[in-house]
């Protein structure tokens, strides 16, 4: 499972004012600063500025590089991040639009890549496909023009297949 720590920098927040605890294990590191541990990436959320600084889970205008990632878990992480009260999401990879508020839509597009790969993988597994058969059958052609698609499609599909089967280490 991918790990995510969301560090919340709550400038001037009352000590009793805690962020939502449904994002994972929550611990206070200093008054007003919290770390959510969901899996293995760190995301910094600055509520006062409504900005989330993302890491490996957000590739803007790029196909995900998942050499050590967990795509199914990343969808859950992105869902948790999308639920934060933020306007701007700074990608770990890829450009920042001229209008940074467009990054929420970019985050949604990045999430959709993973959802499409996950759903296609689930469909292939339901039909009894082996890993090799699933990778051959799932083309994700709608993303073929994205940077890194050519060398990461197979990696992403294999890792998601294994994660869905419970064999990813």
Q: Reply yes or no on whether the pLDDT at 12 is more than 60.
A: no
Counted residue by residue, the chain has a size of 169
Residue percentage of the chain with pLDDT more than 70: 75
Between 36 and 133, the more confident residue is: 133
Confidence bin at 39 (pLDDT 50/70/90): low
Sign of the Cα torsion 147, 93, 86, 24 reads: positive
**How many domains in the chain?**
1
Structural domain harbouring 147: 3-165
Report whether 59 contacts 92 (CB < 8 A).
yes
| Residue in 136, 131, 140 with CA at minimum distance from that of residue 168 | 131
Kindly list the distances between the CA atom of residue 37 and the CA atoms of 21, 41, 52, 107, 128, in Å, as whole numbers in the listed order.
11, 9, 16, 20, 34
Strand bridging mode 88-90 / 51-53: parallel
Q: Reply yes or no on whether the pLDDT at 32 is more than 90.
A: no
- Identify the pLDDT of residue 113: 98
List the single range of 43-47, 79-83, 135-139 with lowest mean pLDDT.
43-47
Backbone phi and psi for residue 45, each to the nearest 5 degrees, phi listed first: -115, 125
Q: What is the mean pLDDT of residues 10-28?
A: 43
Contacts 24+ apart (CB under 8 A), 23-29: 23/80, 23/83, 24/80
Q: What is the mean pLDDT of residues 120-125?
A: 98
Confidence bin at 6 (pLDDT 50/70/90): very low
- Identify the pLDDT of residue 119: 98
Q: Reply yes or no on whether the pLDDT at 11 is more than 60.
A: no
- Strand extents, DSSP E, 24-127: 25-30, 33-46, 51-53, 88-90
């Amino acid at each position: 499972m991918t790990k995510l720590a969301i560090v919340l920098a709550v400038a001037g927040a009352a000590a009793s004012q805690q962020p939502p605890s449904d994002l994972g294990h929550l611990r206070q590191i200093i008054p007003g600063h919290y770390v959510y541990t969901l899996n293995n990436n760190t995301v910094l959320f600055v509520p006062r500025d409504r900005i989330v600084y993302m890491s490996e889970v957000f590739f803007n205008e790029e196909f995900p590089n998942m050499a050590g990632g967990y795509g199914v878990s990343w969808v859950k992480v992105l869902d948790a991040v999308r639920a934060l009260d933020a306007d701007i999401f700074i990608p770990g990879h890829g450009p920042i639009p001229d209008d940074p508020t467009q990054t929420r839509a970019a985050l949604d597009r990045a999430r959709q890549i993973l959802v499409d790969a996950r759903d296609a993988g689930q469909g292939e597994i339901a039909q009894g496909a082996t890993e090799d058969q699933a990778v051959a059958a799932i083309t994700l052609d709608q993303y073929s023009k994205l940077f890194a698609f050519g060398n990461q499609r197979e990696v992403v599909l294999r890792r998601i297949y294994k994660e869905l089967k419970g064999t990813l280490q």
